[in-house]
Structure 1
Amino acid sequence: MISSYGRDYLEKLNKYLEKLPDEERLDAVMEIESHIAEGIANGQPERVILARLGDPRKLARAYRSEHMNGLKGVKSIKELFTIIGFYCTTGLLSVMVIPVLATVAYGFGFCAILIGIAGVLRTLGVPWINMMIAPGMEVPREFSMVFALVVGAIIGGIAYFSWVGLKKYLAFLSERYKQALPGNQSLNG
């Protein structure tokens, strides 16, 4: 039913999807194969169907973008860095925005935890932990936990809003990228 021209298209798509997990790659290729077969069965010329789908490299990017959409399904640090690497290559702004938001989110989140631990330890009498409000103004030990909670909450809030901003920015990039690809409407319809 599908000609050698169509098979060649599917092989190229499969090649460009090689970075996806095997199951998702095979699902994507089978979905496109089914789309082509259905179009042929409905009397559409195969070359017209393939032209609507567009370049297999761009179609593969759309599938990879969909796979990496946001951070909902991140299962490992390697996968997170793969996603961040993908988006960092999408433009100069992304090269600046994504690393800054990720660094602030994770760095400040880690610091908020450390501030809480420092507050507990200083309250328990650990002498080498200093907490200063300003130069020469040390926090009394009995107020260490309150001070740590307030500062930790502020720093944690910055981390949280940076994380939310990072997720929204990545979702925005994914959506814009998918909208710009030719043949996108034929996949959704």
Structure 2
Amino acid sequence: MSTMGRSYLEKLNRYLEKLPDEERMDAVMEIQSHIAEGIANGQPESVILSRLGDPRKLAKAYRSEHMGGLKNVKSFKDVLNIIGFYCTTGLLSVMVIPVLATLAYGFGFCTILIILAGIIRTFGASWINMSIGPGMEVPTQYSMIYALVLGAFIGGIAWFSWVGLKKYLAFLSERYRRSLPGSQSAR
């Protein structure tokens, strides 16, 4: 392997530093064997490296595969890590992901608060105000019904935002996976 090939692998290794050591080494070895196989089949190393593309983009593809979209989410920290990763993938992601995540989590939290306020107001907490508009106070006996209807509407926005976020992240993951060597569209 030439200096150009070793330099490519070093860059790839550096861009993969956030992966666990074993996965990082597997990825680098996979690309190294891909290059060696291509050279053995008579392809010029420069052609192989140009087909692999920018090592930074290839590293993002491996990191995306490691994260596996939202299937491996076990905690809120995992969600934040995935969102952080995809927010660095492009300008559209920097706008779409935070908006959808804010809507999903913010409106989800508001749904819980609205329903709790309806329950508390139903049992006599007069300090909780519920109104339909200016001068149109909701009677105390209808607080729970009002809270459930409003909570369902706000919860619906949260749910659709969450579904949209999952679909967008899955779409990005699939696009990155396609750029990995050995995938159907990378050949």
Give the TM-score normalised by structure 1.
0.78
Q: Report deviation, 1:36.
A: 4.4
Q: Deviations over 1:35-85 (max 9, x none)?
A: 445556x64557255454334333212112323453222344444333323
Unaligned runs of 5+ in 1: none
Unaligned runs of 5+ in 2: none
Q: Which residue of 1 aligns with 2:20?
A: 21
Q: Which residue of 1 aligns with 2:87?
A: 88
Q: Report deviation, 1:165.
A: 0.8
State whether structure 2 residue 178 is matched by structure 1 residue 161: no
State whether structure 2 residue 175 is matched by structure 1 residue 187: no
State whether structure 2 residue 79 is matched by structure 1 residue 73: no
Q: Which residue of 2 aligns with 1:108?
A: 107
Query: Does the aligned pair in 1 maintain the 2:27–2:62 contact within 8 Å?
Result: yes
Higher mean alpha-carbon deviation, 18-27 vs 155-164, is at 18-27
Q: Deviations over 1:61-116 (max 9, x none)?
A: 21123234532223444443333233333333332222211111111000001111
Aligned residues between the structures: 182
Q: How does 1:116-135 map to 2 (within 5 A)?
A: 116-135=115-134
CA distance in 2 between counterparts of 1:55 and 1:44 reads 22
Residues 37/93 of structure 1: CA separation in 2 closer, same or farther (3 Å cut): closer
Q: Which residue of 1 aligns with 2:55?
A: 56
CA distance in 1 between counterparts of 2:176 and 2:66 reads 13
Higher mean alpha-carbon deviation, 72-81 vs 159-168, is at 72-81
CA distance in 2 between counterparts of 1:165 and 1:127 reads 38
Q: Report deviation, 1:29.
A: 2.4
Q: Report deviation, 1:136.
A: 1.8
Give identity over the alignment, percent. 74
Higher mean alpha-carbon deviation, 5-14 vs 17-26, is at 5-14
